[in-house]
C-alpha cells in the first residue's frame, strides 16, 4: 500500500509559478512510475505529466510543455511538479499518482495508476 500526500498548491496570478510536491510512503518508491493529473470543475481528470521510475524520462501533455517540469527524488520519496508561466486555464485540483505495475511503459491514462493522493488546489487568477 502506498500513501501519497500532495502539497504546494495555492492562489497565484497569471504568469506566476508554483511548485507542487508529492510525498510517498513506503520503501519501494523508486519502483513506481509517477504521474500528475488535474481536474477542473465540470471537466474530466486529465494527464499533465509523468516520470519514469528511474527519473530519466518525462512526458507532458502538449498544453504544459515548456512551462511545467516533473522531477523526482528517490531518496526523499518525493515527486515534484514545477509550474511556471501559469495561465488561468491551469486552474484545477492537481493529483499525484503512482503506478506499481512494474510495466516498462509510462502511462498517461488515469486507469494506469494504482494509488492517488487527495489532491491540491491550484488557482490562477487573470
pLDDT in tens, 86-123: 999 999 999 999 999 988 999 999 999 999 999 999 99
Our measurement of the distance from residue 58's CA atom to the centroid of its chain's CA atoms, rounded to an integer in Å, reads 11
Nearest to 48 by CA among 40, 56, 59, 57: 59
Q: How confident is the model at residue 1 (pLDDT cuts 50, 70, 90)?
A: confident
Relative to beta strand 115-116, strand 4-7 is unpaired
Are 38 and 94 in contact, with CB atoms under 8 Å apart? yes
Average pLDDT over residues 61-81: 97
pLDDT of residue 25: 94
pLDDT in tens, 28-64: 999 999 999 999 999 999 999 999 999 999 999 999 9
Are 62 and 126 in contact, with CB atoms under 8 Å apart? no
pLDDT of residue 35: 98
Q: How confident is the model at residue 26 (pLDDT cuts 50, 70, 90)?
A: confident
Relative to beta strand 120-125, strand 10-13 is parallel
pLDDT in tens, 7-17: 999 999 999 99
Amino acid at each position: 500500500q502506498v500513501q501519497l500526500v500532495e502539497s504546494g498548491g495555492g492562489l497565484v496570478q497569471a504568469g506566476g509559478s508554483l511548485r507542487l510536491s508529492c510525498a510517498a510512503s513506503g520503501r519501494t518508491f523508486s519502483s513506481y512510475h509517477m504521474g500528475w493529473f488535474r481536474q477542473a470543475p465540470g471537466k474530466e481528470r486529465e494527464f499533465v505529466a509523468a516520470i519514469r521510475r528511474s527519473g530519466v524520462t518525462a512526458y507532458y501533455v502538449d498544453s504544459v510543455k515548456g512551462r511545467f517540469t516533473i522531477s523526482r527524488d528517490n531518496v526523499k520519496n518525493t515527486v515534484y511538479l514545477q509550474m511556471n508561466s501559469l495561465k488561468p486555464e491551469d486552474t484545477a485540483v492537481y493529483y499525484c499518482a503512482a503506478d506499481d505495475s512494474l510495466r516498462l511503459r509510462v502511462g498517461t491514462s488515469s486507469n494506469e495508476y494504482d494509488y492517488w493522493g487527495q489532491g491540491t488546489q491550484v488557482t490562477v487568477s487573470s
